[in-house]
């Protein structure tokens, strides 16, 4: 499966989801047919409201947008997308609802990985070390640092769908496309600490744009739950810009 997006694809009219029967925060799972069993298991475990199945190789990014099209028709303040290789923590729904009640930014990542993106890892490590001093429940960053699980304010979805398709046609991964959209709208992004989903360390199905093999462990720094969530923030600094300065005699 690749990330190629058809040049004719456009977001359709926002559909109206069925009334939520069980949960106040709707969750959509995006999956490929080769991993459909993972998605259905997760849907049963979490009570997800929708599973978006890509059985025609539309690509990961388009499948995310299909999920947001559906979620955007809802009336709940927040909406959540999980990828099929997410591993939600125990009591995921309870944790999700409690966390979103106090979320300090309109975009919240549910996962911080140990390996990717590599240039962010020193900044992530420093931010995690600092949480021991301030007990931050959220780590703010300029970018969404992974697409395995994240929440967005539902009211923002129509604008997201207008902005992001042009980026993914240029082979921009979904997390980077969301980050670019957020920066253009001055929208804050934070990540839960600890993560509310871990990541299956399995072989990827996708062809990555950078051509780099994924050999590092694809796991969260820490995936767990909290007794209580507070709107306390730590900061993930921008990656340092390393430059080469020639020595002069």
Tens of pLDDT along 17-26?
544 444 579 9
Task: Identify whether 237 is part of a domain.
Answer: no
Task: Identify whether 21 is part of a domain.
Answer: no
Task: Identify whether 156 is part of a domain.
Answer: yes
User: What mean pLDDT comes out for the span 23-50?
Assistant: 90
Task: Identify whether 131 is part of a domain.
Answer: no
pLDDT over 70 percentage in the chain: 80
Task: Identify whether 94 is part of a domain.
Answer: yes
Task: Look at residue 242 and tell me whether its pLDDT is greater than 60.
Answer: no
Task: Identify whether 79 is part of a domain.
Answer: yes
Task: Identify whether 245 is part of a domain.
Answer: no
Task: Identify whether 19 is part of a domain.
Answer: no
Ranges 23-32, 159-168, 228-237: which has the least confidence: 23-32
| Three-point CA angle 27, 138, 78, nearest 5° | 25
pLDDT for the residue 132 = 77
Per the structure, the complete domain to which residue 91 belongs is given by 27-110+145-187+197-216
Domain count, the chain: 1
CATH for 50:
3.90.550.50
pLDDT for the residue 133 = 76
Axis crossing angle, helix 60-71 with helix 174-184, rounded to the nearest 10:
50
| pLDDT one-digit tens code per residue, 137-168 | 999 999 999 999 999 999 999 999 999 998 98
Contact 167, 82 (CB under 8 A): no
Q: Any idea how long the chain is? A: 249
The neighbouring-strand residues paired with 140 are 190, 235
């Amino acid at each position: 499966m690749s990330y190629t997006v058809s040049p004719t694809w456009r977001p359709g009219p926002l559909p109206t989801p069925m009334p939520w029967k069980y949960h106040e925060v709707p969750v959509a799972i995006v999956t490929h047919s080769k991993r459909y069993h993972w998605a259905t298991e997760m849907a049963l475990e979490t009570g997800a409201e929708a599973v978006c199945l890509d059985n025609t190789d539309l690509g990961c990014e388009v499948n995310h947008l299909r999920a947001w099209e559906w979620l955007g028709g809802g009336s709940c303040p927040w909406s959540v997308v999980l990828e099929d290789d997410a591993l939600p923590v125990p009591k995921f729904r309870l944790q999700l609802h409690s966390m979103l009640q106090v979320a300090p930014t309109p975009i919240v990542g549910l996962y911080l990985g140990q390996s990717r993106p590599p240039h962010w890892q020193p900044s992530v490590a420093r931010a995690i070390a600092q949480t021991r001093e301030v007990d931050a429940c959220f780590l703010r960053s300029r970018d969404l640092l992974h697409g395995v699980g994240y929440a967005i304010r539902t009211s923002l979805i129509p604008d997201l769908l207008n902005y992001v398709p042009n980026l993914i046609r240029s082979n921009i991964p979904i997390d980077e496309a969301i980050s670019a959209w957020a920066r253009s709208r001055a929208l804050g992004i934070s990540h839960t600490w600890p993560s509310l989903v871990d990541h299956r360390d399995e072989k990827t199905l996708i062809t990555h744009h950078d051509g780099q093999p994924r050999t590092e462990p694809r796991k969260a720094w820490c995936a767990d739950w909290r007794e209580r969530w507070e709107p306390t923030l730590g900061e993930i600094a921008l990656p340092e810009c390393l430059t080469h300065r020639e020595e002069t005699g």
